């Protein structure tokens, strides 16, 4: 699908982050001219170090909260993959002002810069947190609930702004509501580390992971390669009906946290048999967490021909191998 991007330039904001660096890598493997914008607040230089010598790669160190940086990054760009954001529900509850500044003001800056640079398409990272307290499963794009965190509010505002820019200025946009993405380069460190890399790191160190609640909460864990497929389908689709809307990005299956720990143990035990005997600990549920999450991916299948290739077990197998090689 990336053959459509030959002789085009793609800007990846947050390109030194987990998802952003994987997008950059995939684009560069297809020899697509790739610009990375990052301020390294959560992204890592190590993630893009291998790309710096690639003639098709350009790094711009800048902040999406600065409109001049956004304009500089968008200059001469054909497409934008907007991944830059301040993630984490708990972080947004602790510091809603910074979360809003990055995720709302920064997002608006990028839309304005993309509009003024006459970018052909703006594909952005939305979030499954937008479904809020809506309890029905699976989650269908057209039905959402009330937000449960400042982070969720910011990601919903992104969708509203993108819709307005498509209608008012003719900027083609597509929002991708990510469901619990995991894979190589996802940071296992820090106060807001995602559950899979955090648990993997703890298992490797023979520490007991701690589950929030009794472990019955479930998520639609989504391997990074499925996410790459959706981004590139959104970027290159020629189906006009597929534009200016939002899609769930998931596998379409859910796994409880207890099931997740079992899969992680099984896969890690192929490297270290002692991991099978590590005991899981529990604590109270975390404020703002959604009990269950499961995506309908019918819309993406119908309009974008999305065909996710990696279920939870296949994805974990690949991710665990990468972490085992890189966390030792």
What residues are labeled active site? 151
Three-class SS of residue 297?
coil
Is residue 293 within 8 Å of 209, Cβ to Cβ?
no
The residues pairing with 295 across neighbouring beta strands, listed in sequence order, are: 139
**Contact call for residues 108 and 162 (beta carbons, < 8 A):** no
Q: How far apart are CA 145 and CA 234, in angstroms?
A: 25
Angstrom distances, CA of residue 169 to CA of 104, 161, 183: 18, 11, 36
CA gap 83, 102 in Å, rounded:
11
Please state, in angstroms and rounded to a whole number, the distance separating the CA atoms of residues 174 and 235.
8
Q: Which token pair is 76?
A: 């001469």
Instruction: Identify the H or E element spanning 202.
Output: helix 195-204
C-beta atoms surrounding 124 within 10 Å = 27
Q: Are 175 and 159 in contact (CB under 8 A)?
A: yes
- The CA–CA distances, whole Å, from 26 to 19, 78, 255 equal 11, 17, 28
End-to-end CA distance of the chain: give it in Å, rounded: 36
Residue 287, burial from CB neighbour count under 10 angstroms (0-12, 13-18, 19+)? exposed
């Amino acid at each position: 699908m990336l053959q459509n991007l030959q002789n085009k330039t793609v800007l990846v904001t947050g390109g030194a982050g987990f998802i952003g660096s994987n997008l950059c890598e995939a684009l560069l493997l297809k020899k697509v001219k790739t610009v990375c914008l990052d301020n390294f607040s959560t992204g890592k230089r190590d993630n893009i170090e291998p790309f710096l010598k690639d003639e098709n790669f350009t790094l711009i160190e800048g902040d999406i909260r600065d409109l001049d940086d956004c304009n500089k990054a968008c200059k001469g760009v054909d497409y934008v993959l907007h991944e830059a954001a301040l993630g984490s529900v708990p972080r947004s509850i602790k510091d809603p002002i910074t979360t809003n500044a990055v995720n709302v003001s920064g997002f608006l800056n990028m839309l304005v810069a993309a509009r003024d640079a006459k970018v052909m398409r703006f594909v952005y990272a939305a979030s499954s947190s937008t479904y809020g307290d809506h309890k029905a499963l699976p989650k269908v794009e057209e039905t959402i609930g009330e937000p449960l965190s400042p982070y969720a509010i910011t990601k919903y505002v992104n969708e509203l702004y993108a819709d307005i820019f498509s209608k008012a200025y003719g900027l083609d946009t597509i929002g991708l509501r990510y469901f619990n993405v995991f894979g190589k380069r996802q940071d296992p460190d820090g106060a807001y580390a995602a559950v899979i890399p955090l648990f993997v790191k703890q298992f490797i160190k023979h520490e007991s992971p701690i589950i929030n609640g009794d472990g019955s909460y479930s998520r639609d864990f989504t391997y990074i390669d499925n996410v790459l497929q959706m981004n590139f389908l959104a970027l290159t689709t020629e189906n006009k009906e597929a534009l200016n809307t939002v899609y769930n990005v998931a596998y379409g299956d859910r796994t409880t946290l207890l099931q997740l720990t079992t899969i992680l143990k099984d896969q890690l035990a192929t490297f270290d048999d002692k991991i099978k005997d590590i005991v899981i600990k529990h604590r109270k549920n975390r404020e703002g967490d959604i009990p269950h999450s499961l995506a309908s991916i019918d819309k993406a299948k119908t309009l974008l021909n999305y065909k996710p290739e990696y279920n939870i077990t296949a994805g974990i197998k690949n991710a665990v191998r990468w972490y085992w090689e890189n966390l030792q």
